[in-house]
Structure 1
């Protein structure tokens, strides 16, 4: 499923136009990004939680040359599925 398929499904399920469903999805995605950028955790009970974690700097290898390279520290987004989501795919 891609974004346009999701918008169509949302519109059908909610009985709204595709334009309204698209705006709702864009707003949701924008607010998720904003929350994570501020360093906050986002919890959607039953679905899962999004969080930002710090990944420390580490040594890696260039696969072409085998040379050791330094991979800088960075922040990464993590997602932990909720129990309802976990149970729905089994």
Structure 2
């Protein structure tokens, strides 16, 4: 399912226009991104938890030429689904 299909499905379920649904989805994603900038964790009840984790620096080896390379530390987004969502997926 792509973004257009997702927006159409939500619009059909809520009775809102596709344009209004697109604005709502953009606002939702923007709010999540904003909150994760301020804190490191955001829990959405019944859906799951978004968390910013720091990956430590590491050394990787290119198997073709055995060259070693240092990968710097970085922040990554992790998602852990709630028990309710896990149960619905079964």
Shorter-normalised TM range: over 0.9
SS at structure 2 position matched to 1:53: strand
SS at structure 1 position matched to 2:66: coil
Residue 36 (structure 1) aligned with residue 44 (structure 2): no
Which residue does 2:85 correspond to in 1?
85
- Measure, in 2, the Cα distance between the counterparts of 1:37 and 1:62: 34
Deviation at 1:63, TM superposition (A): 3.5
5+ residue gaps, structure 1, are none
5+ residue gaps, structure 2, are none
Which residue does 1:20 correspond to in 2?
20
- Measure, in 1, the Cα distance between the counterparts of 2:58 and 2:6: 38
What TM-score comes out, normalization by structure 2 length?
0.92
CA displacement, residues 49-80 of structure 1 (integer Å, 9 cap, x when unaligned): 10100111111112432211111111110000
- Measure, in 2, the Cα distance between the counterparts of 1:42 and 1:52: 9
SS at structure 1 position matched to 2:77: strand
Q: Say what the alpha-carbon RMSD is for the aligned residues.
A: 1.1
SS at structure 2 position matched to 1:16: coil
- The alignment covers a number of residue pairs equal to 90
Deviation at 1:16, TM superposition (A): 0.6
Which residue does 2:69 correspond to in 1?
69
- Measure, in 1, the Cα distance between the counterparts of 2:74 and 2:31: 21
